Amino acid sequence: MDSKAEEFLRQCEALLLVRWVFADLNGIARLKEIPGAMCRRFFKSGGRDCCSAVLSLACTSFAPEVQWIVDNGFPDCSMLPDPDSFHLVSWSRCPPGQDGAARIGQVICSSAWHDGTPVQFDSRNAAKRQIERLAGHGLALYSAVELEWRLFIKPKEDAAEYTWHESRVDPYCSILAHKYEPLLLDIHQALQSAGLRVEALHTEFGCGQMEVTMAPKWGICGPDEGFLYRDIVRQVAQNHGYIVSFMAVPCSGEAGSGLHFNHSLWSADRRANAFFDAAQERKMSAVMRHWLAGLIHHSAAIAALTSPTVNCYRRLHLPFTPDFADWAVQSRNATFRVKLGSDANPGGSYIENRMPSSAANAYIVTAATLAAGLDGLERQLTLPPEGSRDAGRLPSSMVEALAALEADTVMQQALGPQLIEFYVTLKRQFDLGLVQASMPTGDDAKKLAWERAQYLENL
């Protein structure tokens, strides 16, 4: 056992409980609480067993009938903690110890079968596979998320509907920031104590809408932070008596919430930005051009994986939201917004994938973006001209998006046929089969109210 693992176990043994957390296909945190004194035993014996079907649950915990899971008797897999991700849960509602220190810890897990084979439909494993493929090209991922969310008041006993905690639409507003500063400060401190680096917090363009922007991290640490971010923000808000929702469009006439995936590729030694080339036009390297071409080529499949609810498609095809499979420098009207570095700042070159909704799973966003970009890189696809819309519009419904995903054999093979099968089965049985099929007829307000009942508190 290496020194890092030993230090992790010593830290666990000093705590009462350690949350062994893992992401389901929705990016929702599932866990087992492990007594600190038991962590060494489970870690040394190959992890802690958990029913693998939990990975494919819907956000409401509806269990889809996935044939492979049924045929194999709902088998156990092992939860394998990543010692690098360990942190204290400073925001826990449990009182601290006599020394004032937190008594609860947390560690992110991946899953594997008992023979050590990674579980293919584990979204964190999917992201790790694409990062490993990237390493095979001598490249490293540097990424972060900008993730928007909304603040709500829980309905009273006799009220059926939620209300905004803040009815004003006032982006970047000092007065609103002052009003919610105690909450924002607690969110910042909780994220910081979990090892996440916050770059900025501010109000956004919708009622009760806010955003926290994270600093980029290397490799799997970027999507790990996207996963933790959503869970921590919801828990801290709960401590304040609020509801935070990452539902994409909870009310009509309002700006949707997104997850913008900012990423760049670097040399394996992390010294040179592979998207920057001073000798090329606009200083965009061949790597950047081929990568962008891959993203545009596979945009329809990416949409299916990054707009994971029927509600998400209300967010697309509106001002300042993704509409076509296109790119442009600096423009917020483009699906893929390009930021260009300079001779003075070559590290400033990166791509902002603006397609994902706030309901998206950060691991799947990462895996899908990398799989598409790698195809562009490996086949040296040609980048369309800036602003060109020849690649077509993005899907406008889940039905259309899932059909595009199933038709994209390159993405299926890259991400793993089993991951795609489980994901599509979940979407067809829950989001289309239960949410959309059971939606009330009549005006759109009733339909949106039904979507809120399924998604608002569950995302």
Name the amino acid, one letter, at 165. Answer: H
Could you tell me if 307 and 353 are in contact, meaning their C-beta atoms sit under 8 angstroms apart?
no
Sequence-distant (6+) residues with CB within 8 A of 403 are: none
Kindly tell me if the per-residue pLDDT of 159 is higher than 50. no
Least confident of 128-142, 158-172, 244-258, 302-316: 158-172
Collapse the DSSP code of 183 into the 3-class scheme (helix H, G, I; strand E, B; otherwise coil) and give the result.
helix
Round to whole Å and give the CA distance between 279 and 242. Answer: 52
Strand partners, 210: 149, 203
Q: Are strands 87-88 and 198-203 parallel, antiparallel or unpaired?
A: unpaired
30-69 residue pLDDT tens: 999 999 999 999 999 988 999 999 999 999 999 999 999 9
Beta strand segments in 134-257, E: 139-153, 163-164, 198-203, 209-214, 217-218, 243-245
Kindly tell me if the per-residue pLDDT of 373 is higher than 60. yes
DSSP, res 457: T
Where is pLDDT greater, at 107 or 163?
107
Strand partners, 202: 211
Average pLDDT, the chain: 92
Could you tell me if 399 and 428 are in contact, meaning their C-beta atoms sit under 8 angstroms apart?
no
DSSP, res 56: G
Round to whole Å and give the CA distance between 316 and 259. Answer: 13
Round to whole Å and give the CA distance between 440 and 434. Answer: 12
Q: Region 8-26: what's the mean pLDDT? A: 95
Domains of the chain: 3-119 (3.10.20.70), 131-414 (3.30.590.10)
pLDDT on residue 359? 97
Q: Which helix (H) or strand (E) holds 236?
A: helix 221-239
pTM of the model: 0.94
Closest CA to 82 of 36, 47, 54: 47
Round to whole Å and give the CA distance between 52 and 75. Answer: 6
Kindly tell me if the per-residue pLDDT of 165 is higher than 60. no
Backbone angles phi, psi at 87, to 5 degrees: -160, 165
Structure tokens at 268: 């394996």
195-213 burial by CB neighbour count: b if 16+ within 10 A, else e? bbebeebebbbbbbbbbbb
Round to whole Å and give the CA distance between 225 and 179. Answer: 27
Q: Are strands 87-88 and 76-81 parallel, antiparallel or unpaired?
A: unpaired
Could you tell me if 129 and 141 are in contact, meaning their C-beta atoms sit under 8 angstroms apart?
no
Kindly tell me if the per-residue pLDDT of 436 is higher than 60. yes
